[in-house]
Structure 1
Amino acid sequence: MNVSVLYALAAAALFGASTPLAKSLGMGLSPVLLAGLLYLGSGLGLTIVRIVRDRGWRSSGLTAPEWPWLLAAIAFGGVLGPIALMFGLTRTSGATASLMLNLESVLTALLAWLVFKENADRRIVLGMIVIVLGGCVLSWPQENTSAHDWSGPLAVALACLCWAIDNNLTRKVSASDAVFIAGLKGLSAGAVNCVLALAIGAQLPAISTLAPTLLVGFLGYGVSLVLFVLALRGLGSARTGAYFSTAPFLGAALSILMLGESVSWLFWIAAALMALGVWIHLTENHAHEHQHDPLVHSHRHTHDEHHQHEHDFEWDGSEPHSHLHHHAPIRHSHPHFPDIHHRHKH
């Protein structure tokens, strides 16, 4: 299995677990403050990890053209997205919200295909249609269910749109340091949301609630995002979103087991449709003859068929390693994803 697939699945597992945990911890907290604390835990934790890893503070390595993409991604994914999700969680069940999050993969793929011109073949499109049907079933109003109305699922859907935009923008900088990208997102989004929440009258919770909330944020938002960026680097936006859409199933299961939430027959129909859509995505295979244009960039790599270059420094033979390197033009055919080396037209 491609290691990027494992990154995506691990990211999904951590984020899926964070949804019911955030709902449980956030009882009594404003949605804005809860979103801020989760991202603050992500940013603080990853900043500490980066300082320890690099034995001090180092430059991010991002180029000037990459900064606008990253800042826009922070605005959509780190500020608007979590606020919409936390609002939605106050008006729908954790299990329903968890499954609604499958729409993120659909919207990510649609944006990647239509706006950013990433390849999406018939299986990707078919899988998206099936997942959308599942989301429609899940959003259908049910009588005698006070915890379920249109506003909750619509807010979660808005959060999915924000994160879909974030995913495609982050893909533009995915070759850079994933820990820095995720850490900056967490610090920026956490600071903005916490300041906004405190300004409108929210109060920080007791340490007994604050500490586990920050920890959930570090694991479910921070470490998960690092793994997601690594997956974007190797799979592209649409495919990473497809694998990441397994997250809601874990979140839904935890909501049922931990929070004791009841589910209707519509929930199981939606789950079956979404599972089918995910399976269609995961079984997609893409191979054809393609052209690699000249490219110069820096990222962690091994000397595979795409990295047959010389070194202008003394190299001890260790792999993987990271440095600025040049890709010569090459034409060949093999199964591939739209990763950082395969962003060609079809």
Structure 2
Amino acid sequence: MSNNLESKHRTYLKQKFTVLSKFRNKTVGAGFIFAIFAAAFSALPNVLPKSILIEHSVDDTIIPNPMMLVFVIYVANSLLFAPFRKSSRKTDKKTGKTTFVLLILLGLAEASGTLSYTVGLEETTATNASILVNSETVFAILLGVMIFREKIGRQEMFPLFLIVIGSILIPVTTDIYNNDWQLSDFMMGDFLIALSGFFYCLDTFIAKKLDDSIKTRHLVHVMSCTGAVMTLGLMLLFQIPFDISLEEFSLMSVVGFLGIGITMVFFVMALRLIGAVRTVLIYSTTTVFSIVYSVLVLSESITILNIVSAGSVMFGLFVLRNRISAD
């Protein structure tokens, strides 16, 4: 009798373990899919705005101002991610105020990064821009050392060095060499792309301070509203005309919705299913997707230096984030 009960208990545990194992495998698989889609959609704003700028330069028509393109992105997102009803959850007034301020700062940092990137994209190639924006990792480490007194181990120096070489030194040096060692509009574009990496880095630090209970939809909505108000203010200040066709408006709305809103939703879902390290490692392939889109959509040529630069960044990110996860 006792042996029979033990046998049944083992069978039950085995069946339970099998079910849990299958469920975990499906969960991990879904997490990887969300992370890959986040990387693929995140690359869209890196490339598609350039197609509008190129099309107008070829047709000799008025080129839409980059601020206008960014304004459309955030207006579309603020409308599409608007919450339909207020949350019934009661929060402490002080906590609620702090959270709201952080959300506004997040929106300002995100909008500044998007604006800086789009303006820089007008002067440089989409391939170059997709590599340079990885300077975000370099800025994140530098801020961590200077502000939060974090230390960089010897084993972390090599991958960091690879990221610096790939994301900054190779692209910038190549541009200077191609322009007879003189500053040019192309170089200014590179500088603005690198600056966008700094703003995206601030974005990440601010996001870490936010409460995990905040819904992703609410976060994207407030961030997008802030971005729309900021760009609108700049357009009024610099008297930039609201000149954009319906086709371009539709394209930029889709780019903003997928490239910023849906990207953030998928990123957060992947984060919850497979953890931070795996998600960030997969999300790093945004550079690869951006280069592929640059070739397919813009017919840009890929040089050996582009491959070396992107490869250096990807390998450096892989080694560095694996090292961080081990610690």
Shorter-chain TM-score range:
0.7 to 0.9
2: distance between equivalents of 1:122 and 1:70?
Answer: 36
What percentage of aligned pairs have identical amino acids? 22
Give the corresponding residue for 2:116.
Answer: 84
Specify whether residues 119 and 184 from structure 1 end up closer, same or farther in structure 2 by C-alpha distance, changes over 3 A only. Answer: farther
Give the corresponding residue for 1:207.
Answer: 246
Give the corresponding residue for 1:21.
Answer: 48
2: distance between equivalents of 1:32 and 1:150?
Answer: 20
Q: Which has the higher contact order (CA 8 A, sep 6+)?
A: 2
**Of the candidates 250, 259, 262, which is equivalent to residue 223 of structure 1?**
262
Specify whether residues 284 and 3 from structure 1 end up closer, same or farther in structure 2 by C-alpha distance, changes over 3 A only. Answer: farther
| Aligned-residue offset at 1:143 | 2.0
- The answer to whether the 8 Å contact 1:111/1:168 transfers is no
Give the corresponding residue for 1:165.
Answer: 202
2: distance between equivalents of 1:122 and 1:3?
Answer: 35
Greater share of residues in helix: 2
Q: Deviations over 1:21-63 (max 9, x none)?
A: 122134511111111111222222122xx42xxxx34368673
**Of the candidates 32, 35, 38, which is equivalent to residue 11 of structure 1?**
38
**Of the candidates 56, 63, 70, which is equivalent to residue 35 of structure 1?**
70
Give the corresponding residue for 2:227.
Answer: 189
| Aligned-residue offset at 1:281 | 3.6
Q: Note the residue ranges of structure 1 that are not aligned, 5 or more in a row.
A: 289-346
- TM-score, normalised to structure 1, is 0.70
**Of the candidates 58, 77, 93, which is equivalent to residue 87 of structure 2?**
58
Give the secondary-structure state (helix, strand or coil) at the position aligned to 1:58: coil
2: distance between equivalents of 1:169 and 1:7?
Answer: 23
Give the secondary-structure state (helix, strand or coil) at the position aligned to 1:279: helix
- The answer to whether the 8 Å contact 1:37/1:213 transfers is yes
Moved more, 107-116 or 91-100: 107-116
2: distance between equivalents of 1:150 and 1:66?
Answer: 38
**Of the candidates 62, 68, 71, which is equivalent to residue 104 of structure 2?**
71
| Aligned-residue offset at 1:183 | 1.5
Specify whether residues 241 and 198 from structure 1 end up closer, same or farther in structure 2 by C-alpha distance, changes over 3 A only. Answer: farther
| Aligned-residue offset at 1:216 | 0.9
Give the secondary-structure state (helix, strand or coil) at the position aligned to 1:280: helix
| Aligned-residue offset at 1:173 | 0.9
Specify whether residues 178 and 92 from structure 1 end up closer, same or farther in structure 2 by C-alpha distance, changes over 3 A only. Answer: same
Q: Deviations over 1:199-257 (max 9, x none)?
A: 51322312121112111101101111233455667856x88655433212211111012
Specify whether residues 230 and 174 from structure 1 end up closer, same or farther in structure 2 by C-alpha distance, changes over 3 A only. Answer: farther
**Of the candidates 109, 131, 145, which is equivalent to residue 99 of structure 1?**
131
Specify whether residues 39 and 248 from structure 1 end up closer, same or farther in structure 2 by C-alpha distance, changes over 3 A only. Answer: farther
Specify whether residues 232 and 155 from structure 1 end up closer, same or farther in structure 2 by C-alpha distance, changes over 3 A only. Answer: farther
Give the corresponding residue for 1:305.
Answer: none
- TM-score, normalised to structure 2, is 0.74
How many residues are matched?
280
Q: Note the residue ranges of structure 2 that are not aligned, 5 or more in a row.
A: 1-27, 57-62
Give the secondary-structure state (helix, strand or coil) at the position aligned to 2:43: helix
- The answer to whether the 8 Å contact 1:100/1:157 transfers is yes
- The answer to whether the 8 Å contact 1:104/1:241 transfers is no
- The answer to whether the 8 Å contact 1:105/1:242 transfers is no
Cα root mean square deviation, aligned:
3.2
Match runs of 1:1-346 below 5 Å? 1=28, 7-26=34-53, 27=56, 28-47=63-82, 50-51=83-84, 56-58=85-87, 63-78=96-111, 80-112=112-144, 114-116=146-148, 125-135=157-167, 136-140=169-173, 141=175, 142-143=177-178, 149-173=186-210, 175=212, 176-199=214-237, 200-229=239-268, 243-284=282-323, 286=325
- The answer to whether the 8 Å contact 1:16/1:248 transfers is yes
| Aligned-residue offset at 1:88 | 0.6
